[in-house]
C-alpha cells in the first residue's frame, strides 16, 4: 500500500498521515491510498541499482563507477573505482594526476595511462573466486574502458550490463 504524494489537503509536510497522526495537525482529510502493487524491477535493473550503490564508495574526482558481478543468480563480488587500499585517495587526498587536469587536457574516456585508480570492473573481478568468473554477468554503471574490456573478455564473463540502455555482451 502506498500513499499518493500530495494527498494531504493543506499541503501538510507529512503528506502521508491521516488526521490522527499528522505531526502538523492540519486537520485535513485522510490521504488517498494507492493499492496497486509496486512494479518489481527486472534482475538487470536490480543489479544495476546495486552497482550504483557501490559507486557511492568511489574516491575519484572525475567519475564514480560501481560494479556488481553475478554468477549463477548470486552476487559474487562488488567493486568501485579508487586507488588501491592504503594509498591516499583521489578525491579525499587530492592524489590524482588525471583529476588535476582540465577536461580539455584530459578528455573523458581518453587514455588511462595517467590514472592510478583500480577501476570498478577490475576490483569486482579480482575479488571474485576464479571458478565464479566464466559465464557470469557484470553490471557496471558505465561502459567499461578498453583495458577493463580486455580483462572482462579474458575472465570469461558472458554478459556486461550498463545503463541507460542495457548493453549485452558480446555485442
Cα(21)–Cα(8) distance, rounded to whole angstroms? Answer: 12
Give the contacts of 40 (CB within 8 A, at least 6 positions apart): none
Annotated catalytic, 30?
no
Coil, helix or strand at residue 153:
helix
Buried b (16+ CB within 10 A) or exposed e, 54-91: bbeebbbbbbbbbbbbbbeeeebbbbbbbbeeeeebbb
Q: What's the CA angle centered on 80, arms 74 and 86, to 5 degrees?
A: 120
Catalytic residues: 121
Amino acid at each position: 500500500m502506498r500513499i499518493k504524494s500530495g494527498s494531504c489537503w493543506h499541503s501538510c509536510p507529512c503528506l502521508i498521515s491521516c488526521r490522527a497522526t499528522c505531526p502538523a495537525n492540519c486537520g485535513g482529510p485522510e490521504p488517498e491510498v494507492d493499492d496497486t502493487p509496486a512494479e518489481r524491477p527486472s534482475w538487470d535493473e536490480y543489479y544495476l541499482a546495486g552497482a550504483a550503490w557501490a559507486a557511492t564508495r568511489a574516491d575519484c574526482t572525475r567519475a564514480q563507477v560501481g560494479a556488481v558481478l553475478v554468477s549463477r543468480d548470486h552476487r559474487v563480488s562488488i567493486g568501485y573505482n579508487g586507488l588501491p587500499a592504503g594509498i591516499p585517495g583521489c578525491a579525499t587526498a587530492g592524489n590524482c594526476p588525471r583529476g588535476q587536469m582540465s577536461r580539455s587536457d584530459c578528455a573523458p574516456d581518453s587514455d588511462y595511462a595517467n590514472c592510478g585508480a583500480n577501476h570498478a570492473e577490475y576490483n569486482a573481478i579480482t575479488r571474485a573466486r576464479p571458478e565464479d568468473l566464466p559465464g557470469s554477468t557484470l553490471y557496471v554503471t558505465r561502459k567499461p574502458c578498453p583495458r577493463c574490456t580486455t580483462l572482462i573478455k579474458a575472465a570469461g564473463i558472458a554478459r556486461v550490463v550498463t545503463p541507460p540502455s542495457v548493453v549485452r555482451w558480446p555485442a
